[in-house]
Structure 1
Amino acid sequence: MAYNNRERERAIIVGVIFPNQTRAQVEEYLDELELLADTAGADVIYRVYQERERPDPAFFIGRGKAEQIAKMVDEDKIDIVIFDDDLSGAQVRNLEEVINCKVIDRTTLILDIFASHARTASAKIQVELAQLEYLLPRLTGKWRHLSKQYGGIGTKGPGETQLETDRRLVKRKIAILKRKLNEIDNQRKVQRKGRRDIFRVALVGYTNAGKSTLLNVMADANVYVEDKLFATLDATTRVVRLSPTRKILLTDTVGFIRKLPHHLIASFKSTLDEIVEADILIHVVDISAVNFREQIKVVEQTLDELGALDKPIITAFNKIDKLEDRSLIYNLANEFKDAVFISASRGVNIQALKDKILSIIDDYYVEITGKVSVSNSEAMSLIYKLGEVLDVKYTDDEHLTLKIKIEKRHLPKISSYLLS
């Protein structure tokens, strides 16, 4: 099948087993790399493994292994070699001189997929910024794999013209893109400010865990869903009615993945702010994935980077319809306090998830109204720090009446500042 109107490429993927890793671990990593390659439009023909104490500075895998791969490339008409670890510009250049085909690393592959899936102006800018920031420190010598002579995976976006671009121009382009993203960020802040009177819940999780499917079933929406990694990049928000009298805003966010590039997280800040500013997070986990525990850790680490790990989190174990051993549900229910077991594709236990959201809202949050002295800057600072001010009205010349949404645990800290 063609992908994006181009023929699929034949690929070799390469994993290196370092002393702190097992072969089984690296095999799992290459399983995921193969999925990424498939999403980008490549068929993996061979897997290559090598055990090393440390990366080779010139070739990452050493010249001898590179020459073995070169033979495989020649004999089986391989188009691309993909490494599961990041390569330096010099390593890519050296490898391509020996292997004589396009060589890319995991990060370049992920950025290529993001470039293919970017639909909105915002997503395109964020991806281009991430690509340029990854490229900038690698502008040493001749990057043959970015030239027109290859094309295909790893060459979309700014890479196509990189051979004619120097560092100064790239830095200028990065500055322009950051200004554009800042404008988008400000627009989104205004949009989010307009919906502060309703509780906000964000779906987070490993890529392809089923977040978009869950948003569709909860909101009766029609968000794009595909069984591919990173099928959606932009945050999508819908109103979800939890009960006849209660509703929330539910946001689907970009999926996380192992070794998600740090500059990609930085580039997608305006999108990921939906997570940071949410009241509650639903961590969607693919319970049928063999390595779902490692995926949970990856998501938690990314949330920690974003400073969002202290929020109320519901763990939604998805795809229970694919489980052969149902005893796993019982064991995980004992391990994860706020867990719900669902099948988004079949609509199983969705009401239980809605009930869990309602109970957390009732347990964690309260909305209060109180007066504060205009001159009391200490009170105002604390209220804005601990809570969310939904409405401000001038009661008289000396007082403000504030409507505040705040976690119950913070209520005693501000109650002494509120006047009756």
Structure 2
Amino acid sequence: MTTTNQERPLAVLVGVQLPGIDDVEHAADLAELGRLVHTLGFDVIATVSQRRSALAAAAVLGEGKLKELAELTGGSGVVPSGAPERKNKARARRAAEGDEGDDGELGGDGGHDEDDDGGAEPGAGGAAQARKATVVAVDHDISPSQARNLERATGAQVLDRAGVIIEIFHRHARSREAKLEVEIARLNYVAPRLRETGGGGDRQRGGIGGKGAGESALELDRRKIRDRIAELKEELAAVQREQSTRRALRQGQRRVALVGYTNAGKSSLMRALTGSEVLVADKLFATLDTTVRALHPEVRPRILVSDTVGFIKKLPHDLVASFRSTLDEALEASLLLYVADASDPTFRDQLAVTRGVLSEIGASEVPSRLLLNKVDRLSEEDRDALRLEFPEATLLSAKIPADVAALREEIIAFFEQSMVEAELLLPYAKQSLIGEIYENARVLSEEYDDAGGRLSVRAHAAALDRLRSLLAR
């Protein structure tokens, strides 16, 4: 059953522009959060933005902006007692003088509010504005208490940036390995937030005969989560051993890994290069599982192409750690193709994020090429400017067959540089190895005499050493 946009639940974005963040970067971060929330299944109806020296300790926003946010969600705009409101004298004086800008700060964190240009910016039509938002998405990592206070003030579900990303990963994971990795990250995210869900102080009976304080319900839930994480890690380790075995079997093969920011066009490029039916979707994190296919039309020896999970700013550390095995595909590749969406004004920052994450796992030493994708969306003047700025980059569009064909030749040429010619003697008793030779080398010519076949081949030095060892046994 299809649903219309009107039936989709509504969300409001919240962002605080901290010192050192300019207007362009702040707007780009909020726009990206909006796409994340849309991928999660919500329509964004407004954005509440504020300049502050720091996030308000109790509820992220100052008093005025909190009430503004609550008007969009149907909440009270006030944090109930238990998170006392404190104001300094300067702020109280401004309030008395009738300043209703970004006044007030709940919880007092030493920061101060400044006037901002944005306020609550509408993100949808007037019809949608009649409905109240049920989700508040905050473009920061916030504490469990801040999230709880925001929920009390707005009456809506609150997700910080990490929570949104983890939920998207949870919905898009397909393979067993990805599901295990995401579930571990989710439980690590949920565990410290249990204290904010209530639950009272009832304790289970402890000790023999029921004596002793025992465990509170909250402690019991935490222990269950720790036990579940331990089980998942054991299961994940078994799956990763299988994956390592598969990668070891491909160790001697030529491998190319497509890496880059989410939605940069990696999967579209993968489909164009390999002719495979990989998922292509205009949404963030459409691909979470590494897909490996042979370059098409095939060459000998084969070149394998891997489509990897995309990166994003402020990617939760638990997810980076969990997907380390997936990122190993990049670490073990012979060539990395950094794919960037050249039509996105922030692609330079996105490229820096990709390189930063890969540097963390030690993949910065792998030979690489920069691909500026989606240039079909740019003017010729913009393309010329990119050529001057990135002379080493390849400008292309995954939708233009000629561009894809040129990239294919560039990939082949890269591997050709390190190939050498040699002659192999294939005894008649070892004819069963002919398939192995054709798989790992390009056979230029074959001649047969009394000793067997003499094959003139072109291959990588490592592949030649392996073939010679097989023939010598």
Question: Shift of the alpha carbon at 1:96?
Answer: 1.0
Matching residue of 1:61: 61
Q: Do the aligned partners of 2:274 and 2:296 also contact (CA within 8 Å) in 1?
A: yes
What TM-score, normalized to structure 1? 0.78
Q: Please say if 1:327 is aligned against 2:389.
A: no
In 2: Cα distance, 1:368 partner to 1:188 partner? 33
Shift in alpha-carbon separation, 1:368–1:271, aligned structure 2, 3 A: farther
Q: Do the aligned partners of 1:315 and 1:339 also contact (CA within 8 Å) in 2?
A: yes
In 1: Cα distance, 2:420 partner to 2:28 partner? 45
Structure-to-structure mapping, 1:201-240, within 5 angstroms? 201-240=256-295
Aligned residue for 1:19, secondary structure, equals: coil
Shift in alpha-carbon separation, 1:164–1:100, aligned structure 2, 3 A: farther
Find the structure with the greater CA-based Rg.
Answer: 2
Shift in alpha-carbon separation, 1:61–1:165, aligned structure 2, 3 A: farther
In 2: Cα distance, 1:106 partner to 1:2 partner? 28
Question: Shift of the alpha carbon at 1:365?
Answer: 7.2
In 2: Cα distance, 1:351 partner to 1:265 partner? 33
Aligned residue for 1:26, secondary structure, equals: helix
Structure-to-structure mapping, 1:193-342, within 5 angstroms? 193-241=248-296, 244-323=299-378, 325-342=379-396
Q: Please say if 1:39 is aligned against 2:93.
A: no
Q: Please say if 1:352 is aligned against 2:406.
A: yes
In 1: Cα distance, 2:359 partner to 2:422 partner? 29
Count of aligned residue pairs for this structure pair:
356
**Superposed CA RMSD:** 2.8
In 2: Cα distance, 1:163 partner to 1:82 partner? 26
Q: Name the stretch that deviates more: 86-95 or 114-123.
A: 114-123
Q: Do the aligned partners of 1:200 and 1:249 also contact (CA within 8 Å) in 2?
A: yes
What TM-score, normalized to structure 2? 0.70
Matching residue of 1:128: 183
Shift in alpha-carbon separation, 1:164–1:12, aligned structure 2, 3 A: farther
Q: Do the aligned partners of 1:215 and 1:223 also contact (CA within 8 Å) in 2?
A: yes
Aligned residue for 1:309, secondary structure, equals: helix
In 2: Cα distance, 1:140 partner to 1:6 partner? 35
Question: Shift of the alpha carbon at 1:357?
Answer: 1.9
Q: Do the aligned partners of 2:337 and 2:370 also contact (CA within 8 Å) in 1?
A: yes
In 1: Cα distance, 2:198 partner to 2:172 partner? 24
Shift in alpha-carbon separation, 1:187–1:211, aligned structure 2, 3 A: same
Structure-to-structure mapping, 1:50-129, within 5 angstroms? 50-74=50-74, 76-129=131-184
Q: Do the aligned partners of 1:93 and 1:143 also contact (CA within 8 Å) in 2?
A: no
Question: Shift of the alpha carbon at 1:86?
Answer: 0.8
Shift in alpha-carbon separation, 1:244–1:188, aligned structure 2, 3 A: closer
Question: Shift of the alpha carbon at 1:113?
Answer: 0.9
Gaps (5+ residues) in structure 2? 75-129, 200-216, 424-439, 441-459, 464-473
Aligned residue for 1:289, secondary structure, equals: coil
Q: Do the aligned partners of 2:274 and 2:297 also contact (CA within 8 Å) in 1?
A: no
Aligned residue for 1:264, secondary structure, equals: helix
Amino acid paired to 2:45: I
Q: Do the aligned partners of 1:181 and 1:270 also contact (CA within 8 Å) in 2?
A: no
Aligned residue for 1:226, secondary structure, equals: coil
Aligned residue for 1:229, secondary structure, equals: coil
Amino acid paired to 1:54: A
Shift in alpha-carbon separation, 1:285–1:174, aligned structure 2, 3 A: same
Shift in alpha-carbon separation, 1:85–1:366, aligned structure 2, 3 A: farther
Matching residue of 1:28: 28
Gaps (5+ residues) in structure 1? 145-161, 370-389, 391-402, 407-420
Matching residue of 1:10: 10
1:217-268 CA-partner distances (Å, limit 9, x unpaired): 1111111111111111100000114774343110000111111111101111
Shift in alpha-carbon separation, 1:112–1:197, aligned structure 2, 3 A: same
Shift in alpha-carbon separation, 1:296–1:365, aligned structure 2, 3 A: farther
Structure-to-structure mapping, 1:325-404, within 5 angstroms? 325-363=379-417
Q: Do the aligned partners of 1:89 and 1:143 also contact (CA within 8 Å) in 2?
A: no
